[in-house]
């Protein structure tokens, strides 16, 4: 049985469609188990995705204080 590491993948467009759907399902279920709700709004290029993340982080941080692992951590990574 071949081992697929996907180490050579650099863009989401290089992944097979079924793998992308499986990843979306995985993250949706993972968040549900954590008591959170994930809404996938689409796919975007890196800059646009970062912009959307920053916008979402700002919106959430205005509504509720963040824990030590939350929007504050994401800001550092972005």
Measured between alpha carbons, how far is 18 from 41 in angstroms, rounded to an integer?
A: 17
Domain ranges of the chain: 12-43, 45-78
Write out the two tokens for 25: 């399902």
Span between the terminal Cα atoms of the chain, in Å: 37
Write down the residue that tokens 């959170």 correspond to. 36
Does the pTM exceed 0.85? Answer: no
- Tens place of pLDDT for every residue, the chain, 78 residues? 566 677 788 877 888 899 889 998 999 899 999 888 888 877 778 888 889 888 988 888 887 665 545 544 444 444
């Amino acid at each position: 049985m071949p081992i697929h590491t996907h180490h050579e993948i650099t863009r989401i467009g290089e992944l097979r469609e079924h793998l992308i759907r499986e990843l979306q399902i995985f993250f949706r279920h993972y968040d549900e188990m954590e008591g959170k709700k994930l809404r996938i709004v689409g796919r975007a290029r890196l800059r646009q995705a970062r912009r959307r993340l920053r916008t979402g982080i700002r919106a959430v941080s205005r509504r509720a204080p963040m824990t030590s692992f939350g929007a504050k951590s994401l800001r550092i990574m972005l």
